[in-house]
Amino acid sequence: MFEYKSEVLVTTIKWVNDRANETDVSRLDDLINKRTEEGWEFVTYSYMANTAGIRSAILITFRKEK
């Protein structure tokens, strides 16, 4: 049985045409590595584009055994 944890990472800019901001990628790596050190396993992510704004977000889901 697993316990799940989801987090939202707000990007500094909207990612367009497969172009990601290096700062955002670094922040994403840091979050994944931090949670992994805490015993969480990365499961999935979803990019949530904001069509009206200049920023978007990434929904990241982790899991670990109970």
Q: State residue 15's pLDDT score.
A: 67
How much of the chain, in percent, has pLDDT values that exceed 90?
A: 58
Pair of tokens at residue 30: 């840091």
- Is residue 47 within a helix (H) or strand (E), and if so which, with residue range? strand 41-48
Pair of tokens at residue 6: 């989801």
In the beta sheet, which residues pair with residue 23? Answer: none
pLDDT in tens, 41-66: 999 999 887 776 677 889 999 999 99
